[in-house]
Chain A
Amino acid sequence: MKRRHGRVWRAAQSYASLLGLVVLWQGLYGLGWLPEYLLGPSVIVAQFGEMVTSGELFGHLRSSLVRSYAGFLAGSLLGIGLGLLSGISRRAEDLFNPLISLTYPIPKIAILPVLIVWFGIGDASKILVILLACFYPVFINAYYGARAVDRLHVWSALNMGATPAQIFRRIVLPTALPQIFSGLRVALALSFILLFSAEMIGASSGLGFLISFAEANLRFDIMFVAIVTIAILGFANDRLLVYVRQRALTWEARRR
């Protein structure tokens, strides 16, 4: 009983700083001490409600989510597949790794204009650039994850008569999974950075577009609604990934 009380109290204390920040923000806004481009939380929430009820926000949200999920999923799957393959097969390693290390240092956003020239300014170029950006961290982590497989595990599996497919599914994959998830987490963060910048650079829908539209029309209320939505999106997706990771890695000692 006493313990639970302690935990709640601690949680309250640790979130107090966040809450305090919002209250301070609102207070300063109420006093009129903020510059005109910094609106108060109350105004943002009101505008948020308005854009939710009018459905305007959902259209942009959907455009953004389609692009980011498509790019993230395709890039991650490709990265996991080729990364694991390179980790277990010398041939694949020789084929892919030189290419990867040659192109890895290029920030993928730099290729966006090329993709726009090739595929037009629509969704394809945005999805592709996100795909590329997500591919690299996932590939590299899957590769190292597969390489970390303990030789003794493979030997004992062979000893018990496991087939290569079984070894892959029951030894390589579980060994590499924690590492793959670290790659996915980086990829997820990158996917959102690329998404919003691609939308700010050239788009006619999506949250990034909404920001640059609002900026151009000096509609700070709309701009903040977009920012808050992006913040919620980034946070929620990260939590989702952490949750999936915990479900997938129940055997791994839970780390903070």
Chain B
Amino acid sequence: MSSGPAPGKREKARAAGRVGVQGRGWSRARKATSCLAILGTWEVVAHSGWVSPLLLPSIAGVLQEAARMAGNLSLFMHVGHSVYRALVGFLLATVVGVIIGFLMGRFRAAELALERFFAVTYPVPKISIYPILVFIFGLGNVSKIALIFLECVYPMVINTYYGTRAVNPLLFWAARNMGAGPAVIFRRVVIPAAAPHIFSGIRIAMPIALVLVVITEMIGSNNGLGYLIIYSSASFRSRDMFVGILGIGVVGFIFDNLLVWARRRLIFWERETRFVA
């Protein structure tokens, strides 16, 4: 888990290890081309009449539909439901996961009792028990949040556990030397020292929460972006379908950037470990 190389070093590594280093202007132009080419081709094909608009609506049409749905607020309603479910499940998982991970990392008894359980069940796709959750909690918000919680709690537990164990033991000694008790050590040594690992867990859990909110809304719901997508597809309203995809994409984009921003603010003393998901 090493942190990334310093920017200067990285730039030089690039200069040495790469073919085709050219001026910045060229590079910038090339960066825009791939996106523009794809979007352009899409728009041309959509307008050409070669494919049915049911298969590929024009981008202009999708944006127009998005504006209409934003106007009558139905878009915000769907976004709101999805964000609510994803966020509640994710936040619960973060709080519970950090506590369990900390206990496992610091106390032998908790480690013995829980470590194997989490290690063995981690790779099991929790989506398989969604029907049971539906039986227990019904088709409403609770079963969805419960599934998101279940799937997100694992990366949080495992990362906090490793983070807690990776805290430099000298920091504990230094803190005890200054007379700190266990509570002070948890709050003022473990939490900040394990924070980079905890954030890696968050970075893995957040996209998972979004995937699961869409899946559960597709399987059984009457609102949310997953519902919007599956319902529109079933009723051949391809514009609405793409509005749903666009919506969840924007939500994902905002969440991801919020996380990056928060990490930079909160864990300024350490470079980000390269992310995994």
Give the B-binding residues of A (Cβ under 8 A).
13-18, 21, 35, 37-38, 88-91, 94-99, 102-114, 116-118, 137, 140-141, 144, 147-151, 154-155, 164, 167, 172, 179, 182-183, 186, 188-190, 192-194, 196-197, 200-201, 207-208, 211-212, 214-215, 223, 226-227, 230-231, 234-235, 237-238
Contact = CB atoms under 8 A, between A and B. Distances in A.
Interface string B53-71: 0110000000000000000
Given A109-B215, A110-B249, A234-B125, 16 more contacts: A17-B113, A35-B135, A38-B132, A106-B252, A107-B252, A108-B211, A109-B226, A110-B229, A114-B245, A141-B274, A197-B219, A215-B134, A235-B120, A235-B124, A237-B123, A238-B122
B43 interface: no
25 contacts: A18-B117, A18-B120, A88-B17, A89-B19, A99-B38, A107-B252, A109-B218, A110-B248, A113-B229, A117-B238, A117-B241, A140-B275, A147-B10, A148-B13, A148-B274, A154-B13, A154-B16, A172-B17, A179-B274, A186-B277, A192-B125, A193-B125, A193-B151, A200-B219, A227-B128
Interface string B193-211: 0000000000010011011
Main DSSP-derived SS at the B contact region: helix
Interface stretch (B26-34, B73-81, B89-97, B172-180): B26-34
Contacts, number: 202
Interface string B216-245: 001100000110011011000010011011
A155 B14 CA distance: 12
Given A90-B14, A117-B233, A231 B128 contact: yes
B35 A98 contact: yes
A110 B14 CA distance: 35
Nearest to B36: A98
A1 B21 CA distance: 61
Given A105-B253, A117-B233, A150-B13, A94 B31 contact: yes
Contact of A201 (B33, B204, B219): B219
B175 to A, nearest CB: 26
Contacts of A207: 128
Nearest to A230: B128
Contacts of A16: 112
Nearest to A101: B253
B116 A197 contact: no
Contacts of B249: 103, 105-106, 110
B129 interface: yes
Contacts of A106: 245, 248-249, 252
Contacts of B170: none
A97 to B, nearest CB: 7
Interface in B1-42: 4-5, 9-10, 12-14, 16-22, 27, 30-35, 38
Contacts of A164: 19
B244 A110 contact: yes
Contact of A151 (B17, B127, B131, B211): B17
A183 to B, nearest CB: 7
A107 B212 CA distance: 9
A54 B229 CA distance: 38
Nearest to A212: B131
Contacts of A140: 275, 277
Given A91-B30, A151-B16, A105 B252 contact: yes
B123 A235 contact: yes
Contacts of B130: 200
A107 B10 contact: no
